Amino acid sequence: METLGRVQRSLLGGEEEQEEDLLGESNGSCSLSPLQRIYGFAACLVAALAFMLLSFIVFYRPIKFAIMFTFGNILAVGSTAFLVGPGQQIGMMLDPVRVYATAIYVGCVILALISALWIHNKVLTLIAIISEICALIWYSLSYIPFARRMVSELLISCCDTDLS
């Protein structure tokens, strides 16, 4: 009887309780099966790794390198949207813990693409790519508990010298 009530509420536009499965998928909100989501994630991640590795072949041409490497980074970050869903991925990226890291990463990606595609400045492109890599590392560390604090303390201890 309860199932019939839920079907009637969904047909009449009422809100239906949704349970999440292992991959964070709400029942009825995604047309991909869990296996298809894993395949999508794997395909997107393999394509990202291929772009990033192939970008090193054209490393001596910073503009082509920046475009390929940045596209690979975007695919790598976007691949997790297959697992958790695009809405939850954006929500996680805008979480207060990592909102600044996300903003810096997105800014570096935009700067790398602008300097490669529009300005055509090789030095600025290389600086933007190095900044993008650092921002991606810092963003990725935000998903590991206490990792950013440990890295910060390690960098401070390495750079802190007493010249007494």
CA pseudo-torsion sign 81, 85, 91, 92 = negative
Tokens of 118: 């529009």
Mean of per-residue pLDDT scores for the chain:
81
Residue 11 lies in a domain: no
Residue 115 lies in a domain: yes
Residue 12 lies in a domain: no
Residue 5 lies in a domain: no
* 15, 9 contact by CB (below 8 A): yes
Number of domains, the chain: 1
* Averaged pLDDT, 92-105: 92
In the structure, what pLDDT confidence band is assigned to residue 145 with cuts at 50, 70 and 90?
confident
Residue 95 lies in a domain: yes
- What does each C-alpha distance from 135 to 22, 98, 126, 130 come to in angstroms? 29, 11, 14, 9
Please determine, for residue 17, whether its predicted confidence score (pLDDT) is greater than 80.
no
